[in-house]
């Protein structure tokens, strides 16, 4: 649970992530409108797709992820006008995200934050002008992510002597490789999307407050490719989440001012990013109080209500995610057996024909 994984991750990336979140938070604080901070923090998640590419290539990458996050937020917010479309919207975004991530071999967090922001978009109730304004706030976080990501990768290269990485393969080459070598691509992606649909539908039907946290927890657990990894993430998310909720309750009891809350959020973000690549369970000690404080920053909900909503989302989402992953694993095993039987049958049918041709010659 508390094993620290060795990594070549740099503190530069961790600091860049924290500063990306800090920009919209401080803008919101200075403007007296913390919606800028809360929505802007969603856009700042684009930074987490950071890879040590050249500055120009990294800027394009972060911008593309940021635009995907903005599109996901808009899709989620629009779906609230037709409530039965909410589970469908989240599942369609997850389907698209899983396909893109598998085809392009994008490392974790992959499409997680796009799915997460889409889910959180379904939790807002905004008219069209307010929606456009909120989307612009998300864009502030995206712009901050691009800026700090470029500075971080330049610093790593010129000061820490970290070489730039290069993926020379084109989108077409990635697609051809996926079609030829990843026979589980479509089936696995559809299963993931179906599980997220079920998780969202259950949470929405049960009337759980901040129901989108169920979908977020479910998507987080499903990030693993193997059932063993998913099981570990399931346990780490629940155990680490419980500790995190306890920390959140303690922080709420301190009754921070808005300024103090912003500072604590930035510090928590540093801890999350430092721990995430080293120990997922430990990272959940900080993600949960961060989510609680961020929700409370521009929400009128009572603090303990938020803790309860987060608890239900954490437990239900993790359970549905793991149960769904077990079904996926079973389905994949059955699929592989059927595929081997089909290949064996095809070989058995062709071999007699080949033998007859040989005898005729």
% of the chain residues with pLDDT over 70: 82
Mean pLDDT across the chain: 83
Of 359 and 297, more confident: 297
pLDDT at 343: 66
d(CA 7, CA 277): 7
Ramachandran angles phi, psi of 250, nearest 5°: -60, -45
pLDDT at 134: 94
Q: Which two tokens stand for residue 354?
A: 């080949």
d(CA 200, CA 91): 9
Of 62 and 219, more confident: 62
* pLDDT above 70 for 342: no
- In contact, 78 and 169? CB cutoff 8 Å: no
Of 329 and 35, more confident: 35
- pLDDT tens by residue, 67-97: 999 999 999 999 999 999 999 999 999 999 8
Look at residues 244, 234, 249 and name the one whose alpha carbon lies nearest to residue 306: 249
Q: Which pTM value belongs to this model?
A: 0.85
- In residues, how long is the chain? 361
* pLDDT above 80 for 226: no
| Spacing of C-alpha 80 from chain mean position | 21
pLDDT tier at 283, thresholds 50, 70, 90: confident
d(CA 224, CA 117): 19
User: What does the DSSP 8-state code read for residue 111?
Assistant: T
pLDDT tier at 289, thresholds 50, 70, 90: confident
d(CA 196, CA 202): 10
| Cα distances (angstroms) measured from residue 356 to each of 179, 343, 353 | 34, 20, 5
| Cα distances (angstroms) measured from residue 306 to each of 123, 124, 262 | 13, 15, 18
Q: Compute the chain's Rg from CA coordinates.
A: 22
* Three-class secondary structure of residue 126 per DSSP: coil
In terms of phi and psi (left: phi > 0; alpha: psi -120 to 50; beta: otherwise), the region of 16 is alpha
Supply the DSSP string of 141-203, one letter for each residue. Answer: HHHHHHHHHHHHHHHHHHTS-PPPP-----HHHHHHHHHHH-TTHHHHHHHHHHHHHHHHHHH
* pLDDT above 90 for 146: yes
d(CA 149, CA 65): 13
Q: Report angle CA 197, 203, 206 to the nearest 5 degrees.
A: 130
- Of all residues in the chain, what percent are helix, strand and coil, respectively (each to 5)? 80, 0, 20
- pLDDT tens by residue, 181-199: 766 777 778 888 899 999 9
Q: Please enumerate in sequence order all residues whose Cβ is within 8 A of that of 34, keeping only pairs 6 or more positions apart, or say none.
A: 28, 258, 297, 298
- Domain positions in the chain: 11-349
Mean pLDDT, residues 57-65 taken together = 93
């Amino acid at each position: 649970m508390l094993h620290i994984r060795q990594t070549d991750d740099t503190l530069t990336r961790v600091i860049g992530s924290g500063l990306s979140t800090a920009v919209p938070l401080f803008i919101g604080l200075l403007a007296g409108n913390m919606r800028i901070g809360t929505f802007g923090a969603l856009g700042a998640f684009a930074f987490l797709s950071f890879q040590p590419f050249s500055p120009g290539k990294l800027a394009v990458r972060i911008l593309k992820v940021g635009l995907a996050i903005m599109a996901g937020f808009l899709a989620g917010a629009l779906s609230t006008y037709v409530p039965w479309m909410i589970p469908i919207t989240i599942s369609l975004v997850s389907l698209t995200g899983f396909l893109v991530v598998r085809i392009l071999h994008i490392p974790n967090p992959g499409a997680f934050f796009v799915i997460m922001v889409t889910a959180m978009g379904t939790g807002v109730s905004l008219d069209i002008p307010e929606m456009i304004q909120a989307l612009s706030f998300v864009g502030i976080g995206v712009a901050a992510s691009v800026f700090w990501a470029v500075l971080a990768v330049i610093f790593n290269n010129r000061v820490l002597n970290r070489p730039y990485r290069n993926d020379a393969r084109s989108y077409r080459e990635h697609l051809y490789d996926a079609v030829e070598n990843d026979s589980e691509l479509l089936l696995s992606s559809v299963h993931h999307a179906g599980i997220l649909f079920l998780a969202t539908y259950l949470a929405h039907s049960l009337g759980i407050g901040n129901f989108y946290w169920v979908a977020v927890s479910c998507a987080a657990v499903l990030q693993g490719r193997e059932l063993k990894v998913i099981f570990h993430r399931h346990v780490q998310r629940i155990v680490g989440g419980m500790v995190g909720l306890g920390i959140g309750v303690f922080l709420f009891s301190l009754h921070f001012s808005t300024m103090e809350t912003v500072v604590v959020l930035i510090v928590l973000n540093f801890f999350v990013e430092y721990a995430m690549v080293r120990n997922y369970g430990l990272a959940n000690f900080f993600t949960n109080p961060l989510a609680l404080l961020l929700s409370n920053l521009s929400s009128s909900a009572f603090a303990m209500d938020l803790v309860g909503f987060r608890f239900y989302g954490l437990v239900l989402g993790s359970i549905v995610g793991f149960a769904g992953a077990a079904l996926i694993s079973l389905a994949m095993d059955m699929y592989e057996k059927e595929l081997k039987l089909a290949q064996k049958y095809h070989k058995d049918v062709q071999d007699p024909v080949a033998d007859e041709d040989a005898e005729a010659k």
